[in-house]
Amino acid sequence: MLEGVVGRRRTEKTLPRNEKILRSLLDPSALPRHVAVIMDGNGRWAIKRGLPRTLGHRTGVKSLREVVRLSAELGISALSAYAFSTENWRRPPEEVSFLMELFVEYAGKEVEELRRNGVKVRVIGRREGLPARVLEAIQSLEQETKEGGRVTLNLAVNYGSRWEIVDAVKAIAQEVQRGVVKPEEIDEAVISSHLYTAGLPDPDLLIRPAGELRVSNFLLWQLAYTEFYVTPVLWPDFGRVDFLQALITYQQRERRFGGLKGNR
Ligand code: FPP
């Protein structure tokens, strides 16, 4: 369809940076159902400007807000954003505390808009080890947004995909021990249903800003057939136009799921 509109296949480089034009290029019937995003490059964004890294994180919240808004406008039904990994505890304590406080602030300030836009927030990751203030903020944000029916926003906080898989394996092992599940009944669906993302489709698109070519322990199981979009844009600079470019690029990809051309 895109060829029909623009006359030739546009590449990531030739896509315009005008929101109106980009929206006209988007096929609303072929949107990804689930988009995952690794919000990277906050530190570099700040350092480039001679600012503290923390200001990069704070500005990154604005990018998240825009991506959530646009997902709600377009009708993308799930969004997963990596906010704090199990590895991020290795950062200087001041930066860790800042990120924790930023989450508390986010939960308080954004809740009204999230509710208005029909966004249901689910915080994915391990609760153990999170400060009490963060746990309270998570509980209240999830509770206040639980009726949201337009977009499910998974915020990954204290998240590590390997831990997620370990936790799923433990839960399944306990079910086997209790006789609820037989070992021969364990299949991909059983494993998926024990992950934090249970009930959601796997991501169709992963957006990786800041030019990094890593998965960074994010949704390892769920990304099996996901299309990757890598952009040099640093997360705090990532805006609506960048998100639209990612979506259009995704629509130009041919997804084969391991099969042959034209097959699903
Ligand atoms: C990675 O960039 C980013 C993080 C570890 C934090 C991401 C958090 C936000 C964008 C805040 C918004 C989220 C919520 C829910 C409050 P980096 O610091 O590793 O960047 P660098 O690689 O350039 O140093």
Q: Are 133 and 160 in contact (CB under 8 A)?
A: no
Asked if residue 223 belongs to a domain, the reply is: yes
Give the structural domain span for 147: 33-252
Domain CATH number, residue 231: 3.40.1180.10
Asked if residue 149 belongs to a domain, the reply is: yes
The span from the CA of 74 to the CA of 201, in Å, is 17
User: What pLDDT, on a 0 to 100 scale, did the predictor assign at position 225?
Assistant: 96
Q: Are 152 and 77 in contact (CB under 8 A)?
A: yes
Residues contacting ligand 1 via CB (< 6 Å): 39-44, 57, 60-61, 64, 83, 88, 99, 102-103, 106, 155, 210, 235
Residue from 99, 217, 233 whose mutation best tests the ligand 1 pocket (most atoms within 8 A of CB):
99
Centre of ligand 1 to C-alpha 208, Å, is 12
Q: What total number of domains does the chain contain?
A: 1
User: What pLDDT, on a 0 to 100 scale, did the predictor assign at position 259?
Assistant: 81
User: What pLDDT, on a 0 to 100 scale, did the predictor assign at position 4?
Assistant: 36
DSSP notation for 3-55: HHHHSS---TTTS-S-HHHHHHH--GGG--SEEEEE---HHHHHHHTT--HHH
Asked if residue 5 belongs to a domain, the reply is: no
Asked if residue 11 belongs to a domain, the reply is: no
Positive/negative CA dihedral, 69, 43, 138, 221? positive
The span from the CA of 116 to the CA of 94, in Å, is 33
* C-alpha to C-alpha distances, 47 to 30, 53, 61, 67, 261, nearest whole angstrom: 38, 6, 17, 23, 45
User: What pLDDT, on a 0 to 100 scale, did the predictor assign at position 83?
Assistant: 98
User: What pLDDT, on a 0 to 100 scale, did the predictor assign at position 254?
Assistant: 83
Q: Point out the residues of the chain with pLDDT beneath 70.
A: 1-14, 261-264
Asked if residue 134 belongs to a domain, the reply is: yes
Query: Could you read off the pLDDT of 130-183 as tens digits, one per residue?
Result: 999 999 999 999 999 999 999 999 999 999 999 999 999 999 999 999 999 999
pTM of the full structure: 0.92
Asked if residue 14 belongs to a domain, the reply is: no
Asked if residue 21 belongs to a domain, the reply is: no
Ligand 1, atom 15, lies closest to the CA of 103
Asked if residue 62 belongs to a domain, the reply is: yes
Ligand 1, atom 14, lies closest to the CA of 103
